Structure 1
């Protein structure tokens, strides 16, 4: 493998593009998912053309029903997002959703989003305090729980 790398550097050196290739090698292969509102085929075409000319992109996938743009390649995610924002003039953000089975409490107020595609909820991993808040019960809930508990000797039993 070392011989092939040296040979490719020699060949690229003679072409004069070695600095560009070295910059491309330093970037890692990434998949960038962006949420952009697309209403029609024209919007879809506009979003595709905004990223088509970028160096390092190997694949572009657009899902207009989910309002999702997926770009794979040796690119910087921030640059891709900035390019989509600048070229389309549309509001764009990194894909904020994850599958609902990954989240502990998918229907909690912070995670549930009506605008999310089917089977997805908002990615709420950054807000760790919400998980601890959901685990705690309020004093009223504790009172009701212990009133009908089998572990409480003075509990009320309904039959």
Structure 2
């Protein structure tokens, strides 16, 4: 009887469950002018399946959705309200090596944030870098040059 029970357990057909989306936090930039805009966006996103919490910050033009949601579906749902929306393009400026280079600095960014761009570090063979290292304390030949 133990063998038969084992075989039935192996070949038992059970309905498969759908995979649940991973827990995510999606941040979206949406320009909201009034309470009505804020209410429309909040209602549209909170009615989505899997959305557990919705935070709307009208001052920063930011909507944060947390839950088992797909980021592209959240963006599409916000755009269906008639608002222009994009994924949150900013990071805190203290996390960026050069926060005020031309590509990263954005006048429309909230205070304390800059645009998230891949930044190139200066090459070590650049002329400016050679002059700085020429007269540094780590260079043993700096005294002979001066």
Matched, 1:115 2:104: no
Give the conservation status (yes or no) of the 8 Å contact 2:23–2:66: yes
- The total of aligned residue pairs comes to 128
Normalising to structure 2: TM-score of the pair?
A: 0.74
Structure 2 gaps of 5+ residues are 1-13, 137-141
Matched, 1:93 2:86: yes
The 3 A distance-change label for structure 1 pair 58 and 143 is closer
* Residue 45 of structure 2: aligned partner: 51
Structure 1 gaps of 5+ residues are 1-12
* Residue 3 of structure 1: aligned partner: none
Counterpart selection for 2:77 from 60, 80, 83? 83
CA RMSD of aligned residues (A): 2.6
Give the conservation status (yes or no) of the 8 Å contact 1:84–1:92: yes
- Distance in 2 (CA, whole Å) between partners of 1:136 and 1:109 is 21
SS at match of 1:55: coil
Matched, 1:28 2:22: yes
Give the conservation status (yes or no) of the 8 Å contact 2:28–2:75: yes
> Relative to total residues, which structure has the larger helix share, 1 or 2?
1
- Distance in 1 (CA, whole Å) between partners of 2:125 and 2:33 is 43
Normalising to structure 1: TM-score of the pair?
A: 0.69
